[in-house]
Chain A
Amino acid sequence: MTAAKAATGTAIGMSGLTVRFTTRRSRTTALDDVSLDIEPGEFVTIVGPSGCGKSTLLKIVAGLVRPTSGEVSLLERPVRGPQKEIGFVFQKAALLEWRGARANILLQAEMRGMDRTQAARRADELIEMTGLTGFEKALPHELSGGMQQRVALCRALLHSPPVLLMDEPFGALDALTREQMNAELHRIWRETGTTVVLVTHSIAEAVFLGTRVVVMSPRPGRIIRTFPVELPAHRDYAQVMSDPRFDRLATDLRGLLGSAAANH
């Protein structure tokens, strides 16, 4: 698998990232001096208040936003323009409204010029795995928000990328489906060794999925602390929820996020 390529060195390196947005009406500092190194195979989850620059951070790693200052590298190479060794799941599903679910997933293959039959087989696997069976031909407006997001996830996984960037992928799901998707994503990550960076507002999700949880401050976004998650690599949802270490970490995170918001 392609992920093996990234087995040495850092998968993602960020140093001194600062981003200022200047619009006609205002100047916003979205990120302030953010540095973070992510090892290959890590699952880093990022939590922080709304508007603190989490989406911006992911887009910088993908090469879609250029930082005002600072350096980023992906798989040991400096990020200059848009990166293609990644799978990106946007905060909203961003589907083509004229394509059915399966065709939306296969967009990834068409845009990359991948082998068609192989891509089609992989797409069917992913559809099955994410419970989209029976909705292959449904247009986005015929799908629920959660299903749309699952289509976007399948699309991001189609080419088995070594790095997966996810921006609140399960925000639109109900709690139960969300747990299932978390467990599924955990399994995919374990099996593929993909490096994942996932932004979320759910503390439970951040702890269950992450090998490391990064907490950001309100705007301008800084990294307040990173917590290693001392849970086994192979996790079971029910087990994790009843684990005292989960409780302790979740309480710490909640406290930190709460005080950060209060001091703001």
Chain B
Amino acid sequence: MMPHAQKAAIFNKDEARTDWHDASLWMVRKKRDFAVSEIPEWEFLREFASDIKMHTLSKLDDYLESFEKAAIQNGAIVHWAADAKEHNDIVLSILNKHQAKKMVKSKSMLTEECHLNEFLEHHNIEVIDSDLGERIIQMLNEPPSHIVLPAIHLKKEEIGELFHRELHTEKGATDPQYLTEAARHHLREKFHTAQVALTGVNFGIAETGEIVVCTNEGNADMGVHLTPVQIHSMGIEKLIPRRSDLAVFTRLLARSATGQPVTVFTSHHRNPKPAGEMHIILVDNGRTEQLGKPDFRSSLKCIRCGACMNTCPIYRRSGGHSYETTIPGPIGSILTPGIDLKKHGQLPFASTLCGSCTDVCPVKIDIHTQLYKWRQIVSEAGLPEGGNKTMMSIMGSGLASPSFFHRLGNIGRKLLRLFPGKERFLSFTVWTKDRDLPKAPVESFREWYVKQTKDGQ
């Protein structure tokens, strides 16, 4: 796997494009700021939402049981999947049971996490991602670069080009309205012929056993309404206790995500259609393990709004693909090291710890503190990102010893004075590739202070 820094360096080669990417996401952040400024009780809502989620997580087993019980009473079929493989097998078994060869899918980062598409295609099942952004990247055979705006890394010219190739739109057409219309027609046909629809889940309500999907395009609903069999894949952390709790989250979610007061559709699915089947798959895939880590438990509060990505100055300048994870950006960097420390252990270092993610997060996850904590674990595990341990412990003792420390500092400064402009010679190459080193002054503060206090005496 290529290091994040290297991917970011490649992304930054085209500076104009980096600026465009940064500005597009900053615009979303500004829309969010505006929407949020209309809500005087915003900070209270964040606190409230965080409390509800922490409470739910603290009794997750109980709430999962009540959810299952209520869902079964509603006529749904509930499945439990310990990991991605089990999840995918369950989906396949449902498809096989109905001899389905075509499935429409909408709004599911969880199926991305499980790599469901590849798995089903391998079993000769056609999967059609039905939301526009998801469809675009599916056509390109790329993963999403953002959890809410999966194709945000693409310019409309590139989408025009793709649609010309795939959907035979006019060459050079870039009008979003025209392109969206073309995609609609293309998808309409798919909707009519699919036998099964799968959606993600934004919230599962323990009290009623229903699931809630928040969308703007309505494709999740269209899929569910047009096909006899519906599947809802849901991470176990998506639960909230009561339906009345939902209001807190719907107020936070869309405002944080896109700056809308609410998503266009907030759909509650509770019962199967007459003669239809409704499946709910509850997926763990590493979540209980994260729940068992007190320092990182609260990362499971995440409602996947994407605000931490939009605000992250690194994400905006490196793009979602640079993280090589399903969930990129700050939240991905605290979720994924728990899944595979070796592979994702570098991500907690792809941050300045500026804390903007923590302040923007609608459920108050202390993301930057968790990044810091993951760094400690990465280095404890002896991974290269954490630096050479022996070296670090020597440095550590040096920093605790005044005489060593002062000699080191003075030598450094004097070398810089002796060789001004020859910083490369001093192996500061990374710093000095695009930055100069500070000009070394004649005397340090300490030297000044000692003189000063002696003179004064």
Say whether A associates with B. Answer: no
Please give the residue numbers on chain A whose beta carbons come within 8 Å of chain B beta carbons, in ascending order: none
Q: Which residues of B are at the interface with A, using a C-beta cutoff of 8 A?
A: none
